[in-house]
């Protein structure tokens, strides 16, 4: 089940939680440097990956409250155990990693198992799980759930090894892609494994927990055996990681694995439940319509960035493209924007989600998600994307070029999973003026709404990700920001909770006002003034389920949490968070 196993020690200036960086080092704007740009060491890659993943998830900005009101970055010495794991039926592995603190509490025997958010690499949940669990003496088990930053350069014939360094295609590669003759560019696991990894996210989480028990037997033989019967396992994740732990909650264990999971905390989960909407559906819809809709003054003023003056011409052109394609009504931009806005509202989008969604429009995130997921859901190999997209290093004019050795060397540490980023961009063969991305987006949308073999393949893959009911008696807390503009609660967590509660499952739901999807962007002044972080509520929910397991205390009631925005230039306070008590 597990291969390419490695063990490393992390003490003194290189700990488990921050790789020795501490809060000040994590706040640094520049990443930890490589002594040799094209040949970083394993330790340098790990430190930089931890820096990048902390900064990609948590609000670490001064005044944001991290390390003061909530959370910890105090050094935790210990060991890391990593491996590649493959679920039955999959052709490619996912990464698993377990952190065992020197202060592991063998009396309480706690494992926190976490799935990376988004498509992040193996440290993609470190600020979510480790910051809560390591100081409590728990081991932390991670999975990249078949996504991650294991890129492969088809031009150079090199990819990421199990240790994060780059090498030629051989048994040490974490993701050796299947590619046809003459295919060029860059392949990555989430898009090109042909496994539709999202369908197996729950099984990835369980395998990470199984690896944790194996590791604890090895690390602490005097306290072995560690089993699901004598070791507490709590699963936690946010975004895609939140969806993954909810899928894990469905899995019934047999024999000595019965009741393998003891509690679940899911933040802003990407989950497809009965009466919900599929990520691919609302993402392709938003990619087309949202740029135009955001020009409707009824949604203003939008959070900045994206800067209104810079995006207005692009969004105006999108309105014109939609009008020419018969997708909106209206004789001028204002009327077209109202038409696009009305369509999105009719499909269940709230104005709060649309305003926060401006960030995803500005960063071209809707297209990035749709391109990757079309490939993943349809189980396409690299070079087979049904809309002609591919991935490559890019020239300033967006034409493909060969990646440099230094770019390849940094992929595993710097990548956030889904390109564009870390020197890897999207190549769009349908690009044409005056609205360069429009034709490609229409193709992506047709894979959901249209007919044909490719559309059938994509919709089949989406159907394979539908969530079922969690196990009876399993305590679960779901937390979601009411303003989430990337994974709107109306399409995801709300229908999941309704479905679970209607079946009598022990699921509680915290809806947090004035919270959107990305804590990491709260360092931007306008976002910090408008929105509160979600991570403190995830930590609090972990405290609550832990108390439930310790003492039998009741789970908290469902709540709509009436937070108070801090306003411009003010630090976050406990009063702003209005934490349920």
> Pairing between strand 110-115 and 139-143?
parallel
CA distances 485 to 60, 217, 363, 394, Å, are 21, 43, 13, 29
Q: What is the pLDDT of residues 287-342, one digit of tens each?
A: 999 999 999 999 999 999 999 899 999 999 999 999 999 999 999 999 999 999 99
- Determine the average pLDDT of the residues in 274-294: 98
Extended strands (E) in 170-277: 186-188, 232-238, 263-267
Q: At what angle do helices 240-248 and 201-219 cross, to 10 degrees?
A: 80
pLDDT in tens, 237-249: 999 999 999 999 9
- Band of pLDDT at residue 221, cut at 50, 70 and 90: very high
Give helix 405-414 / helix 42-57 axis angle, nearest 10°: 50
Is the pLDDT assigned to residue 144 strictly greater than 80?
Answer: yes
- Phi and psi dihedrals of 68, rounded to 5? -120, -60
Q: Give SS3 for 261.
A: coil
Per-residue pLDDT band for 252 (boundaries 50, 70, 90) equals: confident
CA 14, 16, 22, 25 torsion-angle sign:
positive
Task: Check pLDDT > 80 for residue 256.
Answer: no
- Count of residues in the chain: 581
* Cross-strand pairs, 272: 466
In order, the DSSP letters of 104-131 are --TTT-EEEEEE-STT--TTTTIIIIIH
Task: Please tell me the distance from the alpha carbon of residue 303 to that of residue 326, in angstroms, as a whole number.
Answer: 29
Cα pseudo-dihedral 339, 342, 343, 349, rounded to 10: 140
Q: Which residues, at least 6 apart from 60, have a Cβ–Cβ distance to it below 8 Å?
A: 23, 26, 27, 54, 66, 523
Residue 148 · residue 119 · CB < 8 Å = yes
Residue 574: predicted pLDDT: 97
Res 258 pLDDT > 90: no
d(CA 33, CA 21): 12
Q: Which stretch of DSSP H or E encloses residue 393?
A: strand 390-394
List, for residues 336-347, the tens digit of each pLDDT value: 999 999 999 999
For residue 255, pLDDT beyond 90: no
Q: Give per-residue pLDDT as tens, 488-547.
A: 999 999 999 999 999 999 999 999 999 999 999 999 999 999 999 999 999 999 999 999
Q: How far apart are CA 80 and CA 348, in angstroms?
A: 44
Residues 85-111: pLDDT tens digits? 999 999 999 999 999 999 999 999 999
Token code pair at residue 390 = 């591919």
What is the chain's Cα-based Rg? 23
Matching residue, tokens 């070079």: 383
Instruction: List Cα–Cα distances, 76 to 227, 298, 301, 368, 424, in angstroms.
Output: 24, 49, 44, 36, 34
Name the residue with tokens 């046809």.
180
Residue 171's pLDDT is what?
Answer: 76
Alpha helices by DSSP H, 405-511: 405-414, 438-449, 453-463, 493-502
Residue 239 a catalytic site member:
yes
Q: How many CA atoms lie within 13 A of 395 on its CB side?
A: 5
Going edge to edge, which strands form the sheet with 507-512? 2-10, 78-85, 94-101, 139-143, 110-115, 232-238, 263-267, 476-481, 507-512, 559-561
- Tokens, residue 420: 């564009």
CA 119 from chain centre, in angstroms, equals 5
Contact 496, 367 (CB under 8 A): no
Please report the pLDDT score of residue 2 as a whole number.
Answer: 95
Q: Which of 72, 82, 117, 239 is catalytic?
A: 239
């Amino acid at each position: 089940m597990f291969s390419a196993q490695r063990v490393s020690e992390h003490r003194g200036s290189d700990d488990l939680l921050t790789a020795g960086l501490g809060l000040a080092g994590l706040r640094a704007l520049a990443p930890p440097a490589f002594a040799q740009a094209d040949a970083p060491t394993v330790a340098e890659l790990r430190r930089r990956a931890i820096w990048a993943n902390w900064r990609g998830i948590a609000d670490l900005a001064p005044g944001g409250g991290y390390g003061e009101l909530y959370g910890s970055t105090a050094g935790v010495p210990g060991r890391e155990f990593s491996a590649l794991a493959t679920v039955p039926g999959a052709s490619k592995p996912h990464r698993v990693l377990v952190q065992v603190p020197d202060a592991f509490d063998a009396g309480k025997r706690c494992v926190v198992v976490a799935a990376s958010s988004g498509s992040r690499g193996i440290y993609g949940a470190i600020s979510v799980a480790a910051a809560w669990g390591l100081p409590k003496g728990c081991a932390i088990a991670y999975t990249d759930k078949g996504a991650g930053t294991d890129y492969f350069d088809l031009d150079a014939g090199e990819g990421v090894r199990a240790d994060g360094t780059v090498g030629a295609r051989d048994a040490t590669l974490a993701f050796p892609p299947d590619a046809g003759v003459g295919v060029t560019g860059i392949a990555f696991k989430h898009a090109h494994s042909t496994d539709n990894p999202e369908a197996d996210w729950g099984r990835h989480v369980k395998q990470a927990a199984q690896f944790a028990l194996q590791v604890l037997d090895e690390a602490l033989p005097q306290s072995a055996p560690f089993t699901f019967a004598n070791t507490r396992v709590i699963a936690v994740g946010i975004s895609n990681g939140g969806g993954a732990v909810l899928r894990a909650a469905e899995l019934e264990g047999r024999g000595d694995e019965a009741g393998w999971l003891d509690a679940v905390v899911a933040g802003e989960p990407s989950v497809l439940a009965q009466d919900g909407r599929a990520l691919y559906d609302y993402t392709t819809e938003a990619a087309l319509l949202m740029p135009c809709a955001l020009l409707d003054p009824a949604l203003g003023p939008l959070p900045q960035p994206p800067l209104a003056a810079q995006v207005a011409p692009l969004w105006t052109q999108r309105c014109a493209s939609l009008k020419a394609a018969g997708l909106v009504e209206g004789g001028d931009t204002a009327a077209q924007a109202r038409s696009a806005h009305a369509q999105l509202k009719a499909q269940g989008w709230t104005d709060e989600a649309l305003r926060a969604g401006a960030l995803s429009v500005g960063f071209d995130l809707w297209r990035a998600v749709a391109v990757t997921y079309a490939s993943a859901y349809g189980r396409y190999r690299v070079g087979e994307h049904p809309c002609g997209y591919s991935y490559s290093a890019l020239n300033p004019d967006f034409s493909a070029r060969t990646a440099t050795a230094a770019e390849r060397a940094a992929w595993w540490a710097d990548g956030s999973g889904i390109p564009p980023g870390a020197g890897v961009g999207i190549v769009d063969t349908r690009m044409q003026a005056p609205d360069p991305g429009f034709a490609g987006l229409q193709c992506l949308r047709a894979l959901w709404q249209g007919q044909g073999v490719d559309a059938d393949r994509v919709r089949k893959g989406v159907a394979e990700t539908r969530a079922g009911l969690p196990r009876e008696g399993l305590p679960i807390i779901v937390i979601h920001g009411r303003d989430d503009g990337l994974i709107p609660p109306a399409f995801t967590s709300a229908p999941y909770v309704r479905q679970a509660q209607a079946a009598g499952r022990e699921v509680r739901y915290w809806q947090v006002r004035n919270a959107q999807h990305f804590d990491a962007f709260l360092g931007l002044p306008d976002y910090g003034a408008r929105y509160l972080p979600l991570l403190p509520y995830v930590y609090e929910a972990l405290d609550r389920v832990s108390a439930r397991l310790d003492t039998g205390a009741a789970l908290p009631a469902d709540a709509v949490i009436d937070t108070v925005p801090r306003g411009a230039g003010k630090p976050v306070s406990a009063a702003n968070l209005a934490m349920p008590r």
